[in-house]
Structure 1
């Protein structure tokens, strides 16, 4: 018996849209909160300033990683859409 693969192109499109939505919301949320992740130095002493600088660097790196991850999610959504359209076209070509 030949195995049968069933794919719902419309479902793939919905998943792609949801993935893009999550990526957009995540990027927006981390961008809006970046300043909260890097508080000002508690004092003018060297330790306070170094701690603040370290937290700022960590916040910037975190934001960059989240933005990069969101970009990857958008890329995955685009790939899902491309495959959904190709499958729908192939399925339409084989229907009587």
Structure 2
């Protein structure tokens, strides 16, 4: 690939804004036209982006990981220490 080639970013239908106990998260799942692996990114209300380290083989698996993380760790999984102090103290 050279500098003149454009990589197309593809957003499946599973991207969504999610409300969790009065707080909003933007869930973005995307891939490129050159790599079929899906990336899971969650942006919290402070505009902090959390990108999961490992790609997923399908968008549905990325969404399941988001749901599992919320179930196990709650909103705090997507906040920095400073953001947690602002919200919970």
Same fold (TM over 0.5): no
Give the strand-richer structure, 1 or 2: 2
Which structure is richer in relative contact order (CA contacts within 8 A, separation 6 or more)?
Answer: 1
Name which one, 1 or 2, has greater alpha-carbon Rg.
1
